[in-house]
Amino acid sequence: MARAMRTLLCALLFAVIGTAHAQAIDPLPFKDHAEEVRFQKLTAQLRCLVCQNENLADSNAELARDLRHEVFELMQQGKSDEEIKQYLVARYSKFVLYDPPLDRGTLLLWFGPALILVAGALAVGITVRRRSRAASAAKTAAEPGDDW
Partner 1 sequence: MNRLLPLFGFLLLVALFGFGIWWNTGHDQREVPSPLIGKNAPDFSLPYLDDPSRTLRKADLLGKPYLINVFASWCVACAEEHPVLMAEGRQLGIPVIGYDYKDDPADAKAWLAQHGNPYDRVIADREGRTAIDFGVYGAPESFLVDAKGVIRYKRIGPFTPELIEQELKPRIAELQREAR
The mark string for 120-139 relative to partner 1 (x by CB under 8 A, - otherwise) is -------x--x---------
Q: Which residues 32-91 are close enough to bind partner 1 by CB under 8 A?
A: 49-50, 52, 62-63, 66-67, 70, 89-91
Specify the residue, 91 or 139, whose C-beta has the smaller distance to partner 1: 91
Q: What angle do the packed helices 62-76 and 81-92 form, to 10 degrees?
A: 140
The CB-of-143 to partner 1 minimum distance in angstroms stands at: 24
Beta bridge partners of 47: 55
Specify the residue, 52 or 106, whose C-beta has the smaller distance to partner 1: 52
3-state SS, residue 106: helix
Beta bridge partners of 97: 46
Question: Is residue 16 involved in binding partner 1 (CB under 8 A)?
Answer: no
Question: Is residue 95 involved in binding partner 1 (CB under 8 A)?
Answer: yes
- Which sign, positive or negative, has the C-alpha torsion 77, 82, 88, 90? negative
Specify the residue, 62 or 146, whose C-beta has the smaller distance to partner 1: 62
Specify the residue, 36 or 66, whose C-beta has the smaller distance to partner 1: 66
The CB-of-50 to partner 1 minimum distance in angstroms stands at: 6
Cα 83 to Cα 80: distance, rounded to the nearest angstrom:
5
- Which sign, positive or negative, has the C-alpha torsion 87, 92, 95, 101? positive
- Of the candidates 102, 89, 2, 84, the residue with the CA atom closest to the CA atom of residue 43: 84
Q: Which residues bind partner 1 (CB under 8 A)?
A: 49-50, 52, 62-63, 66-67, 70, 89-93, 95, 127, 130
